A and B are shown apart, each in its own frame.
Chain A
Amino acid sequence: MKVSFFETVRYVPPRPLPSEWPVPSGAYDHDAGAAAYRGMIERLEYVEALGFDWVSVSEHHYSPRILTPSPIVSAAFIAAHLKRITIALLGPIVPHSNPVRVAEELAMLDTMAQGRLVVGLLRGTSNEALTYDLNPAEARERTDEGMELILRAWTEPQPFGWQGRHFQYRTISIWPRPLQQPHPPTFALGTSRESLEFAARHHLGCGVSYGPFEVMGRATQHYREACARHGWRPSPEQILYRANMLVAETDEEAHALLRAQSNQAPFTMRPGVRDAMMTLDSRNIAGQARSPVVSGALPTTFIGSPDTVVEQVRRCREVVGAGVLDLSLHPPGSGDLGPLTRALELFGAKVLPRIREI
């Protein structure tokens, strides 16, 4: 089992913040921001020393919950400071990006980081459509087309034009090309039938997140079946599961910590926007309709003592088939750094060495 640490940048607000998304930019404290990015590097040096395989970053906007609106900038900064760990850039949000620019920047980063890049391409959470004025109804189609264009830009040796539905270019010929050939290990992230089948069609990994093992297992099973239809079989390392983990010395302590956490996601959209978004943003798990996640805290699927968590990881491997875990060891939006540090110490000492062989 490979293990990835999901880095969200821990912004510690000096004053209470409004709870609505978008959070007013004027509420941002630049000293707290600078401290958060300094702290990120210090934490990741520790994460690397503990033996994590990857550090992951993602793309989110307009709030301090995950302070990496440009994950490519974050990844480049991390790659420059850390020398061994693989950088998993589990963004960018494809439908509101320029796919050619994404292909160029990721090729640069892979080369500058000496081939330590892993890429996840995705559609993004519902609220992100508001960030750059994207019509949510077009997001799925733009994601598929953008991902296909990124792959083509990485691999096509001759200049070419692209006559798409949502993107059009007459001249594409990127320099540099990725160091890893034909391109960095790439995942299509998401549980939707469309995302899983795209991954299968293009021989990419798939990434699922947060849901219970059985539900995520349905998605990864759909992916494996689709891969078989395309004549190949994914390795466990091509199935990634992002999850919250709450590990403590005892099961009782872990559950007490969970009860103390808020069950509401911070920084939610106004109800009128959220409700309208739900009618426009169709989501599914391997073809079964589900509501977009627009409020509520994300579940914690690994919880308990080190022994308990190790067993849960074993079960996750069996049910989900995941060979890579991308973990938050403390709620991503929390600036309470003490519990995160304690969780890292405990995980590094009593969990990480035992899940390597799973």
Chain B
Amino acid sequence: MSAAFDEGHVEADGRRIRYLEAGRGAALVHLQGAGGLRLTPAQDLLARRFRVVVLEVPEIDRSAELASTLATAVRRMGAVSFNLMGSSFSSAAALSLALQEPQRVSALVLEAPTVLRPEARDVELERRLADLAMPTLVLFGTADGAVSPTMGRVYKERIPSCHLVFVYAAAHAISTDRPEAFAEVVADFLERREAFVISRGQTVIHP
């Protein structure tokens, strides 16, 4: 674990939920994918610009049903409104939480979401994606072998203010494979919202 992150627990709906927290600024709640609570270099990078709270999602295979529990946990930690990021399997919980409490989720990031799969499309969920009003960023690694990156277009089609970004040479765990690239685009999106499409890159070589 990075020294910058503190470990804690929060009670919600009779559950004791473990979390890791670091950084200051606007809150970024991260629901990790399968594999338990573990930090990536990307979270370190994001913690330089945000208050990053990494929540351990209990029972990840039915995590969508736990969205209100997670919302309560986040409120108990003092974050009334927050940015929300869901990775892989936790994309289901992140989407449910964003749909249940849209006034609290100021922006949504989905890292390689698995909630929609080409072989098991969820028509009802796809319909409800149209209700997501907050700015949303969906990321897929171009080398994702777990879920086809072409699924990105479904989110882009359904979510009204969705931006789709492909992270080159990253597999399913984008934030592990290309942490700098991942953290840069996520932070830029969270700070500037839709204006993140406007480049701030500088090309002056010698003044």
Closest beta carbon of chain A to B143's beta carbon, Å: 10
- Contact in complex: B185, A163 (CB < 8 Å): yes
- Contact in complex: B164, A165 (CB < 8 Å): no
Chain B residues with Cβ below 8 Å from A170 are 163, 165, 196-199
Closest beta carbon of chain B to A124's beta carbon, Å: 20
Given known A156-B153, A170-B196, A171-B197, contact A161–B164 (CB-CB < 8 A): yes
- Contact in complex: B153, A163 (CB < 8 Å): no
Closest beta carbon of chain B to A303's beta carbon, Å: 43
Chain B, 147-185, CB within 8 A of any chain A CB: 150, 152-153, 156-157, 163-169, 178, 181-182, 184-185
Partner of A152, one of B166, B182, B197, B198: B166
Given known A170-B197, A170-B199, contact A160–B166 (CB-CB < 8 A): yes
Partner of B156, one of A152, A160, A163, A165: A160
A158 CB-CB contact with B under 8 Å: yes
B68 CB-CB contact with A under 8 Å: no
Chain A residues with Cβ below 8 Å from B165 are 160-163, 170
- Contact in complex: A158, B156 (CB < 8 Å): yes
Chain B, 109-133, CB within 8 A of any chain A CB: none
Chain B residues with Cβ below 8 Å from A237 are none
B81 CB-CB contact with A under 8 Å: no
Closest beta carbon of chain B to A43's beta carbon, Å: 41
- Contact in complex: B168, A162 (CB < 8 Å): yes
A159 CB-CB contact with B under 8 Å: yes
B142 CB-CB contact with A under 8 Å: yes
Chain A residues with Cβ below 8 Å from B157 are 158
CA distance A160 to B164 in the complex (A): 5
Closest to B157 in A: A158
Interface of B, secondary structure class, is mixed
Closest beta carbon of chain B to A349's beta carbon, Å: 49
CA distance A145 to B167 in the complex (A): 11
Query: How many residues of chain A get a CB closer than 8 Å to chain B's CBs?
Result: 18
A148 CB-CB contact with B under 8 Å: yes
Given known A148-B142, A165-B168, contact A160–B185 (CB-CB < 8 A): no
Chain A residues with Cβ below 8 Å from B182 are 163
- Contact in complex: A158, B166 (CB < 8 Å): no
Chain B residues with Cβ below 8 Å from A158 are 152-153, 156-157, 164
- Binary flags per residue of B50-75, CB closer than 8 Å to A gives 1, else 0: 00000000000000000000000000
Closest beta carbon of chain B to A183's beta carbon, Å: 15
- Contact in complex: A148, B168 (CB < 8 Å): yes
Chain A residues with Cβ below 8 Å from B139 are 163
A164 CB-CB contact with B under 8 Å: yes
CA distance A170 to B188 in the complex (A): 11
Closest beta carbon of chain A to B113's beta carbon, Å: 15
CA distance A150 to B55 in the complex (A): 38
Chain A residues with Cβ below 8 Å from B198 are 170
Closest to A162 in B: B166
Chain A residues with Cβ below 8 Å from B153 are 156-158
CA distance A110 to B51 in the complex (A): 50
CA distance A227 to B152 in the complex (A): 26
Closest to B168 in A: A164
Partner of A159, one of B164, B167, B196: B164
Additional 10 contacts, C-beta under 8 A, given A145-B169, A158-B152, A163-B165: A158-B156, A158-B157, A158-B164, A159-B156, A160-B166, A162-B166, A163-B139, A163-B167, A163-B178, A170-B163
* Residues of B bordering A, CB below 8 Å: 139, 142, 150, 152-153, 156-157, 163-169, 178, 181-182, 184-185, 196-199, 201
* Residues of A bordering B, CB below 8 Å: 145, 148-149, 152, 156-165, 167-168, 170-171
The 10 closest A-B pairs by CB, nearest first: A161-B165, A164-B168, A158-B156, A170-B197, A158-B153, A163-B167, A160-B164, A163-B181, A163-B185, A171-B197
What are 28 A-B pairs at a CB distance below 8 A?
Answer: A148-B142, A148-B168, A149-B168, A152-B142, A152-B166, A156-B150, A157-B153, A158-B153, A158-B156, A158-B164, A159-B164, A160-B164, A160-B166, A161-B163, A161-B164, A161-B166, A162-B166, A162-B168, A163-B166, A163-B167, A163-B168, A163-B185, A164-B168, A164-B181, A165-B169, A168-B201, A170-B165, A170-B197
